[in-house]
Amino acid sequence: MLGFYRVTASYECPGAGCIIVPPIAQCNTGDVATGGAAYRTVIGFPLQQFVAVPYPTISSDPVTGFTTTPQGIGAGDVVYVVAICAHLPP
């Protein structure tokens, strides 16, 4: 049976400023990502949109997750990446 689920990955900046290690929201083996989003929380400010990048980023394989590009963020900021995954029956 076809079903959909969400996977979330995050990275929190522990210091004064970070270049994020892009988190990857990866679907389960055999499933494909049908959409994704990336954003960050900033202390005292609303959410800010980041660009979600399909993963794997350079491949002819199906998209199995989402990530974002390396970017600078401030202390205490958290980057979230979300993938919407389709469960494909075997």
The tally of CA atoms less than 13 A away on the side-chain side of residue 9 is 18
Range of the structural domain that residue 42 is part of: 3-87
**pTM of the shown model:** 0.84
User: What total number of domains does the chain contain?
Assistant: 1
Please give the C-alpha separations between residue 15 and each of 19, 20, 61, in angstroms, as whole numbers: 10, 11, 36
pLDDT tens for the chain, 90 residues: list them: 678 999 999 999 888 889 988 899 999 999 999 999 998 887 766 576 788 999 997 777 899 999 998 888 888 888 999 999 999 877
